[in-house]
Structure 1
Amino acid sequence: MVENKKILVTGADGFIGSHLTEKLIKDGYEIKAFVYYNSFNSWGWLDHSPYKNEFEVFAGDIRDPHGVMEAMKGCSKVLHLASLIAIPYSYHSPDTYVDTNIKGTLNVLQAARQLEVSKVVHTSTSEVYGTAQYVPIDENHPLQGQSPYSASKIGADQMALSFYRSFETPVAVIRPFNTYGPRQSARAVIPTIISQLATGQRKIKLGSIAPTRDFNYVQDTVNGFIAMMNNERAVGEVINIGSNYEISIGQTVEAIAEVMGVTVEIVTDEVRLRPEKSEVERLWADNAKAKKLLGWEPSYGGIEGFKRGLQETVDWFIHPANLTNYKADVYNI
């Protein structure tokens, strides 16, 4: 039985947020989509949604407490995804990451506490762990801010948990590992590779290819959010959402090339390299807690699941109407 109240999704205009909004609509939920106000009246990826007439839109700025409070009125639950996520951009504009990621989260928490919403799902990131000190990485792994972005997310996570501990605000922290899929920004590695190949390039410009990641297909991540939202056992908890499968960036290039049926040469682009001590060298998720508490597990797990997810991602990117949204010859920070 679906609760007959609205769910607020912040960051609904983004990559994961738009997929999540659409899945919730399909599942019968009433949604208020918080999108970033802009003079173009753009709803981000929701502009292209087949469900664009089936949800309410609130255009605002997560950094403004009054707007956040207004957006949350009449909503029973909040899925908080709005944040700045590009790591290279955080190197030269860290102040805005503090404002958006930490202060923005505080605004959501304050409003949720005052309006007595029944659940806040706060979005973390695997980047808060830094380079793995042991693998697979469980939720007890030490936190290490290796970029201003990850430091801001650590701050936001701790703020969220402090509201649970201090005021019993019903907060759950979801910690997705590297989500990929249709609509992802070209500042992420998989869209960077696919968009370059899809425009006919065969010499692919990348940063370091040695680091490993735990890639999670966007539909699996979305299902993790919904499981977190609906399960009371998640309150007060931090829960990894990852595939429990580790693969290097270099091997990821090979997998994409295989899916696309092309031969690739990798060219190291110096501007794409993170500072040495800032690069997260290894990420590999332990997802046992998600399985135990939520009954969640990836549908796109292992190498076969990864290739299936890549195929679906490639199929979306190579469509001309989608590919035109990407500047494959430009480095996106």
Structure 2
Amino acid sequence: MTSSAPVTVAVTGAEGFIGSHLVEALIASGHRVRAMAQYNSFSSYGWLETLPQDVMDSVEVVLGDVRDAGSVQHLLTGTEAVYHLAALIAIPYSYQAPHSYVATNVTGTLNVLEAVRRLGIPRMVHTSTSETYGTAQTVPITEDHPINTQSPYSASKAGGDRLADGYYASFGIPVATLRPFNTFGPRQSMRAVIPTVIGQVAAGERTIALGDLRPTRDFMFVKDTAQAFLAVGTAPAEAVVGRTFNAGTGGEISVGDLVTLVGKLMGAELEVREDAQRIRPAASEVMRLVCDASRLRAATGWEPAHSLQEGLEQTVRFFSDPANLARYKTAIYNV
């Protein structure tokens, strides 16, 4: 009996936090991956360099840039699907460099859509963010919740979302949008709150520098986010194409309570020092996010497999490894 050859798919932003976990999930499910890492003169493949060799044997790394249409066309040629994760993501930096967010998150998405259109790629999964909803007006947040962008970052992501919608309506592009809530886990950057807390504790700090402790978030472990991407990318077209899907757990916890939980898991008594540079402008802070993922469950059968505590335990183990912690700068504010 002969087996069919693995399907080759493309991933933009593959060198990053979620992207590298998605690459692992795709390989585990039998795919081959063309992984775009942003071009740099160091030939760095980011987090892809830490993946096991048996994973990387099925990965072709392509250095390029989603802001360049030719790079995107080259990446997608010969693939059966594209998972578009490349983005500038740090909200505080979007206050300083908004033009770069439009170039990457809007123009970059346009380049991917155009390549999918020209090459006839059968499936595109576009990445959105729960930040496009702004502070929850009703909870849990469904996909019908109003879009209320409260930062240049979220505005740029909403622009990419609207392009995806427009290309589906105008040209029948087979695109589906996944809108993850707050993903966390190993390999996340220190600009996010969970690595910030865990990293500072792992580095020996007991007084943790943070911003506002009141906002609540729906934190989802990165392996569950990767499986949500895979579910949308492999579901029958009639179930997902032209649709937007939230991905989250349906639970929420405040930043302050999160600090308490991390302290318990790490056996540390923690105090919090308010750091003014970590506080968003008042009208830009999103105070509450909690997800309704019932549409995704109904369309694909996806369910998160990890509790918050289970995910935190794995994340603590990662950052407590001195070799991993050494990759980070825990003593500074990572914008």
Mapped partners of 1:165, 1:11: distance in 2: 26
Task: Give the alignment partner of residue 282 of structure 1, picking from 274, 283, 288.
Answer: 288
* Aligned equivalent of 2:106: 102
Mapped partners of 1:13, 1:134: distance in 2: 35
| 2:80 maps to amino acid | S
Maintained 8 Å contact 1:2/1:29:
no
Maintained 8 Å contact 2:130/2:180:
yes
Q: How well do the aligned residues superpose, as a CA RMSD in angstroms?
A: 1.0
CA 3–163 in structure 1, closer or farther in 2 if over 3 Å, else same: farther
| 1:270 maps to amino acid | A
| 1:13 maps to amino acid | E
* Aligned equivalent of 1:52: 56
Mapped partners of 1:2, 1:97: distance in 2: 40
* Aligned equivalent of 2:30: 28
Q: 5 Å matches for 1:160-179?
A: 160-179=164-183
Task: Give the alignment partner of residue 111 of structure 1, picking from 101, 108, 115.
Answer: 115
CA 294–243 in structure 1, closer or farther in 2 if over 3 Å, else same: same
Mapped partners of 1:150, 1:173: distance in 2: 15
Mapped partners of 2:298, 2:323: distance in 1: 41
Maintained 8 Å contact 2:208/2:272:
yes
Q: Secondary structure at the match of 2:173?
A: coil
Measured against aligned partners, the alpha-carbon deviations of 1:189-230 in whole angstroms (never above 9, x if no partner) come to: 000000000011000000001000000000110000000001
* Aligned equivalent of 1:322: 324
Mapped partners of 2:327, 2:233: distance in 1: 32
The 4+ residue runs of structure 1 with deviation greater than 3 A are: 1-5
Q: 5 Å matches for 1:1-333?
A: 4-50=6-52, 51-231=55-235, 232=237, 233-300=239-306, 305-333=307-335
CA 290–2 in structure 1, closer or farther in 2 if over 3 Å, else same: farther
| 1:284 maps to amino acid | V
Residues matched between the structures, number: 329
Mapped partners of 1:90, 1:53: distance in 2: 36
Give TM-score, length-normalised by structure 1.
Answer: 0.97
Please list every run of 5 or more consecutive structure 2 residues that lacks an aligned counterpart in the other structure. Answer: none
Give TM-score, length-normalised by structure 2.
Answer: 0.97
Q: Secondary structure at the match of 1:75?
A: coil
Shift of residue 99, structure 1, vs aligned partner:
0.3
Shift of residue 89, structure 1, vs aligned partner:
0.3
Mapped partners of 2:57, 2:242: distance in 1: 35
Mapped partners of 2:5, 2:33: distance in 1: 12
Maintained 8 Å contact 1:176/1:242:
yes
Mapped partners of 1:255, 1:243: distance in 2: 18
| 1:279 maps to amino acid | E
| 1:112 maps to amino acid | V
Mapped partners of 1:267, 1:67: distance in 2: 44
Q: Secondary structure at the match of 2:15?
A: coil
Shift of residue 4, structure 1, vs aligned partner:
3.8
Identical amino acids, percent of aligned pairs: 51
| 1:46 maps to amino acid | L
| 2:107 maps to amino acid | K
| 2:12 maps to amino acid | T
